[in-house]
Amino acid sequence: MTISGLGPHGERAAPPERVSLLPDDRAAAQEAAWRVAVVLHTVDSDWAKQQLAGMVGIFGDCGAAVIDVVDCGFSPERQVAALDRLIAQRPDAILSLPVANEEVAAAHARVAAAGITLVLLDNAPTGLLPGKHYTALVSADNFGLGKIAAAGLSAHLAQGAAVGVLGFAADFFATNEREIAFTKWLQTNRADLDLHVARFDRMDEAAEVSKRMVAEHPALAGLFVVWDTPAMAVSDWLRHAGRSLPIATVDLGEAAAIDMARGGSTCCIAAQQPYQQGIAAAQTVILSLLARPVPAWIALPGISVTRDTVVESFQKVWRQPAPKEVLRLLGLSG
Amino acid sequence: MPPLASVPAESQRPRGKGRPRTVETAAPSLVELLNLVRTEAATTRQELERHSDLGRAVVADRLTLLGELGLVDESELGTATGGRAPRLVRFAARRATILVATLDQTAIGVGVADLSGNLLTEHHEAADLTTPPAALTDRLAALFRWSLERHAAPQGVWGLSLSVPGAVQTGAEGAFLTTTPPIMPAWDGFPLVETLSRRFGVPVWLRSSVETMTMGELHAGAGLGQRTMLFMKVGRRIGAGIVCDGQLFRGAQGAAGLIGSLPVTSGGQSGTLDALAGSDMIQREGLAAAHDGRSAILADIQRRGGEITAIEVAQAAQMGDAASVAILATSGHLIGQVVATLANALNPDLIVLSGSLVQTNDILLAAVREAVYGASHPLVTRDLRIIRSQMGSSAGLVGAARVASEALFAPAFLKEWVMQGRPLAHPAFVDYLGQLARTAPPDPAPPLPPALGPGPSLRPGKEPLS
Residue of chain B whose Cα is closest to the Cα of A142 = B125
Same domain membership, residue A146 and residue A262 = yes
**Contact list, A14 vs chain B (CB under 8 Å):** 315, 360
Angle, CA B129 vertex, CA B184 and CA A167 arms, to 5°: 135
pLDDT for B444 equals: 52
What is the side-by-side order of every strand in the sheet holding A35-40? A65-71, A35-40, A93-96, A117-121, A136-140, A297-300
Residue of chain B whose Cα is closest to the Cα of A183 = B465
Among A103-112, B104-113, B300-309, which is the least confidently predicted range? Answer: B300-309
CA distance B106 to chain A (A): 11
Query: Does some domain include residue A264?
Result: yes
Same domain membership, residue B361 and residue B234 = yes
Rounded distance, CA B183 to CA B208, Å?
9
- Number of structural domains in chain B: 3
% of chain B with per-residue pLDDT over 70: 88
Query: Is B465 an 8 Å CB contact of chain A?
Result: yes
Query: Does some domain include residue B448?
Result: no
Same domain membership, residue B86 and residue B116 = no
Q: Taking 70 as the threshold, does the pLDDT of residue B466 lie above it?
A: no
Residue A54 and residue A274 in contact, taking contact as beta carbons nearer than 8 Å: yes
**Main-chain phi, psi angles of A87, to 5 degrees:** -55, -40
Q: What is the mean pLDDT of chain B?
A: 85
Contact B143 A169 (CB under 8 A): no
Query: Is B362 an 8 Å CB contact of chain A?
Result: yes
Structural domain harbouring A238: 142-272+305-329
% of chain A with per-residue pLDDT over 90: 84
Q: Taking 90 as the threshold, does the pLDDT of residue B148 lie above it?
A: yes
Query: Does some domain include residue B220?
Result: no
Same domain membership, residue B56 and residue B123 = no
Domain end call among B58, B91, B124 = B91
Instruction: Choose from B390, B452, B463 for mutation: most chain A CBs within 10 A.
Output: B390
Rounded distance, CA B100 to CA B96, Å?
13
% of chain A with per-residue pLDDT over 70: 99
Contact A197 B459 (CB under 8 A): yes
Residue B174 and residue B427 in contact, taking contact as beta carbons nearer than 8 Å: no
Query: Does some domain include residue A10?
Result: no
Same domain membership, residue B98 and residue B87 = no
Query: Does some domain include residue B452?
Result: no
Contact A126 B391 (CB under 8 A): no
Same domain membership, residue B375 and residue B286 = yes
Query: Is A112 an 8 Å CB contact of chain B?
Result: no
What is the side-by-side order of every strand in the sheet holding B350-354? B247-249, B238-244, B229-234, B350-354, B385-388
- Top-confidence residue, B300 or A236: A236
Q: Report the CATH number that the domain containing residue B68 is assigned in CATH.
A: 1.10.10.10
Q: Taking 50 as the threshold, does the pLDDT of residue B459 lie above it?
A: no
Same domain membership, residue B378 and residue B249 = yes
Query: Does some domain include residue A9?
Result: no
Same domain membership, residue B207 and residue B235 = no
Contact A194 B461 (CB under 8 A): yes
Q: Are strands B107-114 and B119-126 parallel, antiparallel or unpaired?
A: antiparallel
- pLDDT tens by residue, B154-187: 899 999 999 998 888 876 567 899 999 888 888 8
Query: Is B94 an 8 Å CB contact of chain A?
Result: no
Same domain membership, residue B250 and residue B311 = yes
Query: Does some domain include residue B457?
Result: no
CA distance B332 to chain A (A): 19
Query: Does some domain include residue A4?
Result: no
Q: pTM for the whole thing? A: 0.87
Same domain membership, residue B313 and residue B260 = yes
Same domain membership, residue B110 and residue B82 = no
The count of other CB atoms within 10 Å of the CB of residue B43 is 18
Helix and strand element counts for chain A (H, E) = 12, 12
Query: Is B458 an 8 Å CB contact of chain A?
Result: yes
Same domain membership, residue B361 and residue B256 = yes
Query: Is A180 an 8 Å CB contact of chain B?
Result: yes
Same domain membership, residue A90 and residue A123 = yes
Where does B39-89 have alpha helices with state H? Answer: 45-52, 56-68
Same domain membership, residue A29 and residue A130 = yes
Residue A81 and residue A105 in contact, taking contact as beta carbons nearer than 8 Å: no
Q: What is the mean pLDDT of chain A?
A: 94
Among A57-71, A150-164, A317-331, B451-465, which is the least confidently predicted range? Answer: B451-465
Same domain membership, residue B342 and residue B200 = no
Q: Report the CATH number that the domain containing residue A131 is assigned in CATH.
A: 3.40.50.2300
Residue A57 and residue A279 in contact, taking contact as beta carbons nearer than 8 Å: yes
Same domain membership, residue A220 and residue A160 = yes
- pLDDT tens by residue, A9-61: 998 888 898 888 999 999 999 999 999 999 999 998 889 999 999 999 999 99
SS3 B175: coil
Q: Report the CATH number that the domain containing residue B360 is assigned in CATH.
A: 3.30.420.40
- pLDDT tens by residue, A172-181: 889 999 999 9
Q: Taking 80 as the threshold, does the pLDDT of residue B389 lie above it?
A: yes
CA distances from B359 to A141, B74, B235, B392 (A): 19, 43, 11, 8
The count of other CB atoms within 10 Å of the CB of residue B85 is 12
Query: Is A295 an 8 Å CB contact of chain B?
Result: yes
Rounded distance, CA A322 to CA A53, Å?
17
- Number of structural domains in chain A: 2
Same domain membership, residue A316 and residue A194 = yes
Where does A73-141 have alpha helices with state H? Answer: 76-89, 102-113
pLDDT for A1 equals: 55
- Window 198-257 of A, Cβ < 8 Å to B: 198-201, 212-213, 216
Residue A214 and residue A235 in contact, taking contact as beta carbons nearer than 8 Å: no
- pLDDT tens by residue, B218-267: 998 899 889 999 999 999 899 999 999 999 999 888 889 999 999 999 88
Structural domain harbouring B119: 94-211+395-439
